[in-house]
Amino acid sequence: MSNVVFHRALTGQRWDGVEVLAYKEAGTTFQSVTRQVLFEGDPALCVQLRYFEVGPGGHTTLERHQHVHLVWISRGRGRVYVGGEFFELAKGDVLSIPTLTWHQFRAPLNSPLGFHCLVAADRDKPSLPSDQDWRELTQSREAAAFLRR
Ligand code: MN
């Protein structure tokens, strides 16, 4: 049996045979985000490749975890908070989210932000900021204006 994974690209950041899923189960820690799993992992390549799309004005969960993300921007533009730094994002940009580093992506109000994200198939669950973490994270005016939880 062949182990080839082939998902033909369709229009509008969709792939043949790939379902558009909710970003996470439920919750108020994110807004307007979808997830597509393009590669589930293989014993000889223990990574997963996902595509996320953040709708206009939406944001991903503010979180941190041991595992590292490798992200490349595939659609639109946006902004990301990574461990106290902000980066303006545009299609083609590549960035990593280091281990145990708080991060949150946001799309502009009028357009979506799409990105591919590579992760280890075996990875820890994200943790969310405690009240104390939140106070520390939002000390700067820029972070307080940007971050959501
Ligand atoms: Mn994450």
* CA 85 / ligand 1 centre spacing (Å): 15
* CA 64 / ligand 1 centre spacing (Å): 6
* CA 112 / ligand 1 centre spacing (Å): 18
Span 78-114, pLDDT tens digits:
999 999 999 999 999 999 999 999 999 999 999 999 9
Catalytic residues, by residue number, are 117
Report the percent of the chain where pLDDT is more than 90: 90
Q: What is the mean pLDDT of residues 6-22?
A: 95
For position 22, what pLDDT does the model report? 85
* CA 125 / ligand 1 centre spacing (Å): 9
Q: What is the C-alpha separation between 104 and 116, in angstroms, rounded?
A: 15
Answer whether 33's CB lies under 8 Å from 58's CB.
Answer: yes
Query: What pTM does this model have?
Result: 0.94
* CA 10 / ligand 1 centre spacing (Å): 26
* CA 2 / ligand 1 centre spacing (Å): 32
Q: Which domains does the chain have, with CATH numbers?
A: 21-146 (2.60.120.10)
Q: Is the pLDDT of residue 1 over 60?
A: no
